[in-house]
Structure formats: C-alpha cells, structure tokens
C-alpha cells in the first residue's frame, strides 16, 4: 500500500525510532505516547485491521503475541503492561494498518 503511513515506515521511507525488527514485524515508539512506555508492534504486511485477518495470518499473530511480553520485559515493565488493538473508526483506529499498542510504566489507570 503505497500511501499507508506504516507501510512507508516499514519500507524506511519515513524515519522512525525502531525498538525491534525482524522479518515479520517492526516495533516503534508511538509519536504521541499515552504512558511512559508506548510502543507500536506493526506487521510489515499491510493488514488493515483485525476485521481483515484470515487463517494465513495465524502464525504472524502468534508471533506478535509471543513478542509482547518479551518487549515489555526489555522495557523494564516488571509490574505489568497493557496491550490495545483499536479496530475501525468506532474503535478509535486512526491508522488503518493493523498494530498493537504496548503501554506501561508507573501505574496505568483502570478502565
């Protein structure tokens, strides 16, 4: 997707502070952090949202789920962390390229 922000960041066309990268995903710091640690875990593949997942992405999603606690540990989030996936406009999604928010540091407020 040529005009997608996260595709552009994936391809290196827009600079970003990468915390982690492999062949499936990359991880950047959110530009507008909502907690002391706020990372975005983003697949290189352009998938618009959870609504667009299919069986073929099962291994990718398992990879992301396994990566989240490792990233949290690396970031020193020893007492816990929060993960959020916004889906669709009504769910607060602004960038229509699937991503998982990883938040933590201090004590996050409850819902």
Which residues make up the interface to Zn ion (CB under 5 A)?
1, 4, 6-7, 46, 97
Closest approach of ligand 5GP to the CB of residue 95, in Å = 4
Residue 94 binds ligand 5GP (CB under 6 A): yes
What is the DSSP code string of the chain? -TT-HHHHHHTTSS---EEEE-SSEEEEE-SS-SSSEEEEEEESS----GGG--GGGHHHHHHHHHHHHHHHHHTT-TT--EEE---SGGGT--SSS--EEEEESS-PPP-
**x/- contact string, 8-47, with ligand 5GP (CB under 6 A)?**
--------x-----------xxxxx-------x-------
Residue 101 bears catalytic tag: no
Number of residues that bind ligand 5GP (CB under 6 A): 13
| Contact set with ligand 5GP (CB under 6 A) | 5, 16, 28-32, 40, 86, 92-95
Q: Which residues are catalytic?
A: 99
């Amino acid at each position: 997707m040529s005009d997608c922000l996260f595709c552009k960041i994936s391809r290196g066309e827009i600079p970003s502070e990468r915390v982690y990268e492999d062949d499936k995903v990359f991880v950047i710091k959110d530009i507008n952090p909502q907690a002391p640690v706020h990372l975005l875990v983003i697949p290189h593949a352009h998938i618009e949202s959870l609504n667009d997942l299919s069986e073929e992405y099962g291994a990718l999603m398992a990879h992301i789920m396994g990566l989240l606690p490792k990233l949290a540990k690396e970031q020193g989030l020893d007492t816990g962390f929060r993960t959020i996936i916004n889906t669709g406009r009504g769910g607060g999604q602004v960038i229509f390229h699937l991503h998982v928010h990883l938040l933590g540091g201090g004590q996050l407020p409850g819902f």
